[in-house]
Chains A and B, each alone.
Chain A
C-alpha cells in the first residue's frame, strides 16, 4: 500500500516537473492548470503514503535519512502549492518542483531498514521539534528558489535581455514579497524548533545544549536568517543582497541536513 502511493507520488512529481519545466518555454493557461493539478494529485498521494506509513509504524516517519528526505520533499511541495495559489507564480515551480522530485528520488534510493525506534526518540518534544524544523526548511527552500529567479530577472533587466523567459517569470516585487513572507514564517518556526530541540535534548541527554554538530549548524542557520530578517526590517535589505544571502542560507541548510549527523538520532 505504502509502496503503491509512493510510486504514484514519484510518477506524479515527475509529471509535474515536466509540466512546470514546459511552462518555462510555453505560455499556455491549459498547461499551467494541468501542472497545478498534477502537482496537487502528487501531493495528495505523498500525504496519504506518509500517513499510511505513520499509522503502520506508529510514529511520524522522520527518524532516518530515507524518511526525512521524503518528508522534506512533502513539506516543500505543500509550501509551494500555498504560494502558487496565493501569488500566481507558476514559473517558480519550474525551479522548486525539480528539487522536491530529486529529494524524493534520493529518499527512494535509500532502503528502509526495519528497526526498533530508539527510546530517545519517543518523546513528544522530538516530534514537535522535527515537524517545525521541516516547516522552516520548506520555507527556506522556497525563499532560495525565489532568490534564484530574482537574480535571473535582475540579470535580464540589467542586460536588457527582455525575451520570452523574462516575460514568463514573475515580477521582482512579487518575488520580494514571497521571499519576505517565507522569512517571516520560516524564521519563527526555526526558532521554536531549536528551542523545542534543546528541551528534548535536556530530556534525552540531560543537557539543553550539547554542541553536537547538528545543533551547532542549526545555530549557524539561525544566525544567517536572523541577519537577513534584521537587515530587511531595519535598513530595508532587499534585492540582490537579500537574494544571495537567502541562497547561502539554503546551502547551509542542505549541508546541515545531509552532512551533519545527529549524535543522538542517526
Chain B
C-alpha cells in the first residue's frame, strides 16, 4: 500500500490559482465522496487552506493514482487540466510522508513556525474521519503527523518567538509588565500598525483601551470598535498615567511626549513601569523618555530588530526540526511495510510453529517411555492441525489482497496474535480547533 500526496501551495501557485482549486471546508463531503470513487484510490483526506490545497490518498497504483487525482482536482472545479497541471506537485512513499510531516510541523508554511496549519490539518482530517474517507493507514499516518508536529513544537523553538512587529510588542510588554490581564493600552493617533498592535494586545488579554486622536470622532469610532474609551487629544496627558502600554503614531511634526511628561506620569503611577512604543516617523516620543526610571521606550526600529533576530533563530530551529522528521519517517515507514500480505503470513506461520514446537518438546520431555515412532506421529499430527487452522485465514488474507480492506485485516491479525509489538502511540486526537 502506498501513500500519495497531490497538491499545490503558496510555493507553486499564486493566490488566484489557489482560490480556484480550493475546496470549501463546510462542503467537503461531496469531493471526498468523489475522490473515493476514483479508480484505485482507497483512502483520502482533503486539506484546503488559503495557502495550500492538498489531497492525501492511499493506492496500489502510484502513477495511476497520482494522475487520476490531478485530473480530479481540475475537473471537480471545472478547470482546464493544462491550466493547473504546472502548479501541482506530487509525492509518494517516503517523500509523501516527509512532505506531510513537514507541512504539519509548519516547516512548509509561508511564515515558518506559524501555528495555524496544524489545526487546519486536524480539522480536515476530522471531516475525513467523520465521512469515513480515511482508513487505517491515513488514520495512523495523520496521527503520526500530529505527534511529529507536537514533538517539533516542544523540542525546537521554531514557534516560540514573535515574527511580526505587533507580536514582538506584545512579547516585550509581557517581559516588562508581566501578566497583561490588568493592563490598559493607550492608542495615540491612528494607523494600521497601531490598530493591529492594539488588537494583538487585546487578544493577549489586555484589560482595556483608551484612544485619542486629533479628530475626536475618529477616536470615538476606534474606541467603539475596541470597546474602549475615547480621550480628547488636548488633554491626553491627563489620562496617560492610567495606561500601562502607550502606542503612538501621530503625524505630529515634533514630539508630543517629553521626558518631563514621563517623569510626571511615572510619579502619578507610583513608579509602576510604563511601556512606550513609538511607531511614528518623525518620532512622537522624545528619546530621552527612555532615560526616565521605570519608563521603557521602544521605537519601531527596535521591534524590527527583534523580529529579524527571531526569524534568523527560526531558520536555525527548522534544521533541528528536519532531523526530528527524518527519524520519524523511518519509524512510520517500518510500520507501513508490516502491512504487506506475504510478510504477515510468514510471521503468522512462524508464530504458530514456535508454539507448536515448544509444546511438543515439553510433552515429549515429560514422557518416560515412548512407543516407536510416537514422536514422528505427534509431529505430523500437530503440523496437520496447524496447517488446517491456518488455511482459512491465510487464503482470506491472500484474496483480500486486491481490495482495500486488506490493511484492516493485516493490522487486526498482527494485533490479535501479537505478531510484532507495533508501538501504538495513542496520542488522543485533538479536534477542538
Contact = CB atoms under 8 A, between A and B. Distances in A.
A171 B177 contact: yes
B272 A236 contact: yes
B323 to A, nearest CB: 16
A166 B294 contact: no
B271 interface: yes
A68 to B, nearest CB: 36
Interface stretch (A52-60, A124-132, A154-162): A154-162
Contact of A162 (B174, B177, B306): B306
Given A27-B157, A239-B271, A239-B293, A172 B177 contact: yes
Interface string B157-193: 1001100000000001011111100000000000000
Interface in A218-256: 235-241
Given A157-B296, A162-B306, A240-B293, A235 B270 contact: yes
Given A160-B302, A172-B273, A173-B273, A239 B175 contact: no
Given A29-B154, A160-B298, A162-B172, A238 B271 contact: yes
Give the interface size class of chain B: 20 to 34
A177 B178 CA distance: 10
B272 A238 contact: yes
B411 interface: no
Contacts of A235: 270-271
B177 A173 contact: yes
B109 to A, nearest CB: 22
A108 B417 CA distance: 61
Contacts of B161: 167
A237 B302 CA distance: 29
Nearest to A237: B271
B175 A236 contact: no
A64 interface: no
A122 interface: no
Interface of B: 154, 157, 160-161, 172, 174-179, 269-273, 290, 293-294, 296, 298, 302, 305-306, 309
Given A153-B175, A236-B271, 19 more contacts: A27-B157, A29-B154, A160-B298, A163-B309, A166-B175, A167-B161, A171-B178, A172-B177, A172-B178, A172-B273, A173-B178, A174-B178, A235-B271, A237-B271, A238-B271, A238-B272, A239-B273, A239-B293, A239-B294
